[in-house]
Amino acid sequence: MKVLGIDPGLAHTGWAVVQSENPQSFSLLDAGLLKTTPAQTLENRLKSIHTNLTQIIREHQPQTIALEEIFFMKAANSILGTSQARGVILLTAAQSGTTLSEYNPRHVKTALTGNGRAKKNQMQKMIQLLLKLSAPPQPDDVADAMAIALCHLRSTRYQKLRVVSCES
């Protein structure tokens, strides 16, 4: 399965395409950061996110998109921009016909480390280990996108295991 993980933001939207051939093996296919600046109009910032994300989806053909839910403890002034970026991401996913799943930060941390309150460095070490990276991933928005994609792959695996065990 190939998953596009997205950490939404108006200024920085992190994205990562992660693939799993089997439940024990994950590989990072591509990752990056979509940047917009306050010098751009809001419409052009949102259009840029949409255009770039559409291109990423066309290029990588993910089976699903995993998106981080908004975490309301962030600065209040960033919540509006993040919400607007999320709206564009949801629209882009719908237009592409790609299924979408959403995960809150605590679920992502639990899926990767077993601890819903894991620190940033713990998450980055786990991402590095699972994706066999030479160093912890940077910047944070891209690392978060990788974590969201891995969370989806791991959560989907356990859901399938539960379904199989229930059918036995």
Residues with a catalytic annotation lie at 7, 68, 141
Between CA 118 and CA 134 the distance in angstroms is 21
- Closest listed residue to residue 148, CA positions, set 14, 1, 23, 11: 14
Give yes or no for a contact between 6 and 145, defined as CB atoms under 8 angstroms apart: yes
Between CA 80 and CA 101 the distance in angstroms is 21
3-state secondary structure of 8: coil
